Structure 1
């Protein structure tokens, strides 16, 4: 029995979700800070280059989330069942796989950064900037991936506030170092990537307190790589992987389509929309990660009543966040766009402001889709979580973007996200109704 997850479910929900949402906002500010300082320190070409580079960065981030969330879900189930040996082996295998993946990414990106930049859409004006950002940030790959594993394990081990502290310190340091390296030292794209790379190191330093003070119930153990165990927690984390990587896929497709309509200035405008949206998505990812220990624990304990409460609180929270986000963006679209417009280009402001207002309507559906996919994975139903994640992140959005862009131009591009999320929400509701009926039947039985 995990005492840290006992007590009134509403209080536990707040205890785990609130700090994790705050932490994910801080963590997402890594890229938003880069966006702001690059836009104001390098200009529109730097902003476009960052948008190209983030496509590849999301692959690394997605891998870290898959291993961290999947491993922590498996860890929580074993911990709740009192199986300490299996819990320790899960942590050890998650770290081993993270180190292996980071080595692959580090070598591959540094070998092929320039051709990758061209594939991503860079031209003569932006290829050097994109190449520099990719090489520097992927040199920190081991720190990004191991940090993404440690965060959910420490959170699941009864220290959600410490996990939040690690994310917030990393983010604040990133913002300060961005200012120093870009605006004071004039290091441009190198400075932005270097500042971002330091952030997970500082986060890991905070997380080490969990071990130094002896609060940890897990530790690395001597064990061989267990491919079956790795496969099982990777499957549980695959929906988180798809949620994150779908953003990169969408970014790539949108970049290439927008280049044909508006050139680099259009990609810069989309960079503003995409990076503000990155923070918005972090609110829902934070909620999803926050509920994971609660859902996994009550699932392992067979507590259907509490599981239904967790699901209800999660959906209501996602809808409330969505409504607030849409209202804020509709009211402040122009000021938000101008914050990333060093040269006061009216066309950039117009494109970005229009894009923000249309694009953000999609979060009315996206929030529920994201948290529902995570909930299914947390209760060891990764198939449903994966179906929702693939539906919203790949199938629906690719199906809509080409048709909408051909019919309605840039307006069609912005409308793609709301349309894809609304279509996926139909599948999400279907799965949730079936789950609710199954839990009710189990409770009655």
Structure 2
């Protein structure tokens, strides 16, 4: 008679996921816009230089993720401890500032050497170096924008990241056009435009944390060592995922230049941009999973953790399969966005269509990576990051490109991501002794604070069902430690509080819903 519909979690999930996906896409779109501007105004050589420099973008993201993801997950696991939360926020900001300053100085000083290490030479060396220098100047605002967006998400302000990302994207586009068409700064101007846009993003998000709305405050007396250890340990899986992307991109770029020269490298650059954009959906869903998963895991609530994973997988497949179909059909349109370069046109279209089949598998990898990261299964999360972004993809690229040439390089994405998921199933079997056949089997929690045998879970949508539940409490809660007086109090509490919520807690009279969970 009494069933738990999970509608409250669904509403909460939807309120996060849409703004998170759009915010993630908008953030990544800044990089994509750079590729589109470069391809249309600076030609294939500029696009190749942009592609060669892509690994550094992944490297900067890796540093960002250590503190943005690691810090926010640790924070979400300790939301009830104000002192710990403020200590966490202070340590994250302090260490991030020091590291980003050092990185900016070192990388800028050796930017030309880095360009050469990445494969730039002859006509691509100067534009690659110019782009690297502009991007490196934006390391500090890039890292802090990511940190502030993640912390605002668990602070109950997911729309702040969405608004900030939109502003960054618009500012980046405007500055790109000004620096190229008006000041004639070339590819270096594109990179500087991106860095300045992130400066604007940092200012916007910082305003929230300086206001009274913020739950986090900088403190003087911090407990440093243990906090930074946990932040780094928790952020490493997400960071390693981007680090592996960096090294894998170097490998695929090297293969591309070797077997296809600048033509295939230009096509790879287009694919890399489209991949980054579409993976933004997977990252967005994964970020929602990470934010909510950290809170539910911190409460030791296995039921909500399991329902969250089910919801994440459902949305990931629904959205990403649709995107796969769109990319396959409209591949020529995506290629033309990056300029009309006839020498790379056919190669890029063929590559995007073969590559599109990898997206659902890649999206699931992002979901599980963030899920296991949030639920403290860090060894599994580290495996996914390593296998998904580097190991299987790189091995597949090397083997398949030697066997089938260019098509093998494109096919390696699907083979690599699918191999990662198969490996994950094997690891779960080894860890639990049971081969996972459904989503519930993928959840690993040593301690469940809310076991089914000691829980009453139900959902109501009107006052009549609330009153009926209140009357039935004595028969529903069967426990020898609950006497008649206690049961009557529980009934009264449910009736009074539930009634007030239904009457005063909803703007719309139609969409009233209340999930009730009683542990006894």
Q: TM (normalized to structure 1)?
A: 0.94
Matches within 5 A, 1:329-408: 329-342=327-340, 344-345=341-342, 347-408=343-404
Find the counterpart in structure 1 of residue 232 from structure 2.
Answer: 234
SS of 1:8 mapped into structure 2: helix
C-alpha change, 1:170 and 1:441, in structure 2 (3 Å) is: closer
Partner of 1:196: 194
Say whether 1:186 aligns with 2:184: yes
Indicate the residue corresponding to 1:3 in structure 2.
Answer: none
Tell me which structure has the larger Cα radius of gyration.
2
Could you tell me whether the CA contact under 8 Å between 1:51 and 1:251 is conserved in 2?
A: no
Q: Which secondary structure state, in structure 2, belongs to the residue aligned with residue 215 of structure 1?
A: coil
Within 2, Cα distance between the matches of 1:247 and 1:259?
18
DSSP 3-state at the match of 1:126: helix
Asked whether the equivalents of residues 90 and 219 of structure 2 are also in contact (C-alpha less than 8 Å), the reply is yes
Deviation at 1:243, TM superposition (A): 2.4
**SS at 1:367 equivalent:** helix
Aligned to 1:68: 68
Match of 1:424 among 420, 425, 430: 420
Which is worse superposed, 409-418 or 134-143? 134-143
Please report the RMSD computed on the Cα atoms of aligned residues, expressed in angstroms. Answer: 1.9
* TM-superposition CA deviations, 1:39-73 (whole Å, max 9, x none): 11111111011111121121111110121011001
Partners in 2 of 1:377 and 1:141 — Cα distance?
25
Residues 324, 359 of structure 2: 8 Å contact kept: yes
What is the Cα deviation at residue 282 of structure 1? 1.0
Determine the C-alpha separation between the residues in 2 that align with 1:364 and 1:253: 23
> In the alignment, is the contact (CA less than 8 A) between 1:67 and 1:98 conserved in 2?
yes
Alpha-carbon distance in 1 for matches of 2:59, 2:229: 18
Structure 2, unmatched stretches of 5+, are 1-5, 429-435, 454-520
| Cα offsets for 1:280-323 (capped at 9, x unmatched) | 11111111112222111111112222111111010111111221
* Partner Cα separation in structure 1 for residue 81 and residue 441 of structure 2: 28
Q: State the secondary structure of the residue aligned to 1:420.
A: helix
Corresponding position of 2:262: 264
The 3 A distance-change label for structure 1 pair 148 and 440 is closer
Q: Which has the higher contact order (CA 8 A, sep 6+)?
A: 1
**Structure 1: which 5+ residue stretches go unaligned?**
1-5
- 1:244 Cα shift? 2.1
Residue matched to 1:55: 55
**Contact 1:59–1:245 (CA<8 Å) still a contact in 2?**
yes
Q: Could you tell me which residue of structure 2 aligns to residue 27 of structure 1?
A: 27
In structure 1, what is the equivalent of residue 100 of structure 2?
102
Aligned to 2:86: 88
Say whether the 8 Å CA contact 2:77–2:298 is kept in structure 1. Answer: yes
Q: Distance in 2 between matches of 1:438 and 1:53?
A: 39
Residues 132 and 190 in structure 1, CA contact (< 8 A), matched pair in contact too: yes
Q: Is the 8 A contact 2:252 2:394 kept in 1?
A: no
Which residue of 127, 130, 133 maps to 1:129?
Answer: 127
Q: More deviation in 279-288 or 94-103? A: 94-103
Equivalent residues of 1:96, 1:225 under 8 A apart: no
The 8 Å contact of residues 72 and 153 in structure 1, kept in 2 or not, is answered as yes
Q: CA deviation at 1:7?
A: 8.4
C-alpha deviation, 1:225, in angstroms: 7.1
8 Å Cα contact 1:308/1:439 also seen in 2 = no
Worse overlay, 116-125 or 94-103: 94-103
How far does the alpha carbon of each residue in 1:335-387 deviate from its partner, in whole angstroms, 9 at most, with x for none? 21122134x31x30111111101112111211011111101111122211111
CA deviation after TM superposition for structure 1 residue 26, in Å: 0.3
8 Å CA contact 2:153, 2:161 repeated in 1 = yes
Residue 436 of structure 1 deviates from its aligned partner by 4.1
**Greater displacement, 428-437 / 89-98:** 428-437
* Deviant stretches of 4+, over 6 Å: none
More helix by share: 1
Partner of 2:160: 162
Shift of 1:124: 0.9
The equivalent of 2:46 in structure 1 is 46
Q: What secondary structure is seen at the aligned counterpart in 1 of 2:64?
A: helix
C-alpha distance in 2, partners of 1:178/1:313? 39
| Correspondence for 2:317 | 319
Secondary structure class of the residue paired with 1:208? helix
Q: Choose the corresponding residue for 1:177, options 168, 175, 178.
A: 175
